[in-house]
Amino acid sequence: MAKSPQARIRKEHLLLALIFLLTLAIRLSFAFQTPYLSTDESYLVLRQADGVRESLVPSFQDPFSYGGRSLVYKPLFSYLLGLLGLISDSVLLQKAFVNVLASLLVFPVYLIARELTKSENAALFAGFIGSFIPLYVARTTNALSVYALLAPVLLTLLYLYLLIMKDEKASTWPVTWFLLLFLVAVLSHSSAVILVLGLLFYMVLVRTERLTLKGSEVELIIFSAFFFLWIEFLIFKKAFLFHGPLVIWQNLPPALLSGFFAQVDVLGAVLAIGAIPFVAGIYIIYKYVFRQRRKEFHLMIGVVLAIAFLLWLRLIELDVGLLFLGCMLAVLFAEAYRLVFAYLAKTKISRYRPLIITLVLLIFVLNSVFPSISFAAQELAHVPADEDIAAFAWLRENTPENAIVLVPYTQGHALTYFARRKSVADGNFLLVEDPGAILHDIDLLYTTTLVTKAVEVADMRGIDYVLLSQEAIRTYNTTALPAADPACFVPVYEHEDIVYEARCSLEER
């Protein structure tokens, strides 16, 4: 007896909900293992959210970072977390919220895949794959990452664009929602450029293939481009004037540039995205660029080309590019699934279809789910050490409020969050003059054996305390400050971490 349409629909929805809940459960099981966060940047977001909670508006003045300075950033994400903080300031709640956001990716991936393939099974598989992109899971499970919001929003925007593309009746609701969500994306992070550039590449592809572009599509693309540019210049005006074009690379010191904006390594990309979506997605791109013409796939390929273009020119971080590439390839996997099973249906082994599906699922679990879990577990190792947290707490209780504390720049935000003291440097380099020189001085102070040199650096940077944290011990391969001196760098806290007080300064001639 054939099942009723309502029963079929409920089954797909149930499966989708199950994928969402499974994803969320796995994420939360990792996230709740520790009260701390894996990335230093998360602590900056936390502080910004705390600021919103206290004053209900985002603050663009930071009294702690680099000893006190202006900030330039897109406030929407920290604003949302801040509003959440009105309910409770628990970090675990905020982690849960971020993981819920990240898990929502399954829905737009499913919807886009269903729109492209008209196959519920293919769409469900794509949704499942989209939930377990290893890099995406790693970056968003135990961190307050804006990509947890941006990825689902960008994919939803693509879905809405697909609806607008196919809508003969010119309904207004997809356009309205597109505009609203686009505003959310643009106010969240500059990586929204992926969508804008993707639409422009799509337009070029369509024109090249002599396909028709609807008027509403052209209008949306023009609007998106102008709006994105305008918001970028409005928010980053000060940074553009300060740094010029270097804003695009976030004013990263040259020593760090090659790490963040690295060349793509194919093996690394496969591991980060997952082997199955990678291979399947590449095949579908090849098919719809060289063999077949379908506007919907040109849209997806346009976005993939945009990501590749930005990665090639090193205009976005490698991790960010691979993250979004993974999302797009997960969507394209649905078409590969449909094609493979459509082919198998014509063969004798079609009677083994359930077995084949199980096999594919197993391969996927091995190639994507397990690596995702492994990546997430590895991220947990990056949380601040308990010894460092204890040292931060001591600093908060025992040092003056306007004290400047030296830690490796990779712990700058954690210091300002836990210790509520000024840092010498952190990972946010926008509006910072000559960050390379600052990082050089930090390295110097942790490594020099010359007391006068260390005092000179401490004097110049206004450093009151030097924290030899577990991070510093690992980075500089030392168990004590080389320039430690009974008169000038006095240990005032000695446990696994050591806090030195800088008591000397250079005399004037």
Binding site for another protein (CB under 8 A): 170, 172, 175-176, 179, 214-216, 219-220, 222-223, 226-227, 229-230, 233-234, 237, 240-241, 244-245, 433-434, 437, 460, 508-509
Q: Residue 291: beta bridge partners?
A: none
Smallest gap from Cβ 163 to another protein, in A, equals: 14
Least distance to another protein from the beta carbon of 220, Å? 6
Q: How far apart are CA 391 and CA 495, in angstroms?
A: 8
Least distance CB 174 / another protein (angstroms): 10
Closer by beta carbon to another protein, 179 or else 257 = 179
* C-beta of 94 vs 190, nearer to another protein: 190
- CA 77 – CA 38 distance, rounded (Å): 18
216 or 448: whose CB is closer to another protein? Answer: 216
Token pair 């030296």 in the structure block, residue: 406
Q: How far is the CB of 422 from another protein (least distance, A)?
A: 18
Mapped onto helix, strand or coil, the DSSP state of residue 96 is helix
Residue closer to another protein by CB (options 33, 171) is 171
- Beta carbon of residue 260, minimum distance to another protein (angstroms, whole number): 21
Identify the residue whose tokens are 């920290």. Answer: 78
Under a CB-based contact definition with an 8 Å cutoff, are residues 463 and 405 in contact? yes
- Is residue 251 within 8 Å of 430, Cβ to Cβ? yes
Of 215 and 400, nearer to another protein (C-beta) is: 215
**How far apart (Å, rounded) are the C-alpha atoms in residues 192 and 189?**
6
167/422 Cα distance (integer angstroms): 55
* Nearest approach, Cβ of residue 332 and another protein (Å): 28
Q: Give rounded-to-5 percent helix, strand, coil for the chain.
A: 70, 5, 25
Beta strand 422-423 with 465-468 is unpaired
Question: Looking at beta carbons only, is 151 or 220 nearer to another protein?
Answer: 220
CB of 203 to another protein, least distance (A): 12
Between CA 313 and CA 53 the distance in angstroms is 39
Q: In this structure, are strands 422-423 and 69-70 parallel, antiparallel, or unpaired?
A: unpaired
240 vs 394, beta carbon nearer another protein: 240
For 353, how many CA atoms within 13 A lie in the half-sphere containing its CB? 14
What minimum distance in Å lies between the beta carbon of 229 and another protein? 7
Collect all residues with Cβ–Cβ distance below 8 Å to 14 and sequence separation of at least 6: none
Q: Nearer Cβ to another protein, position 5 or 215?
A: 215
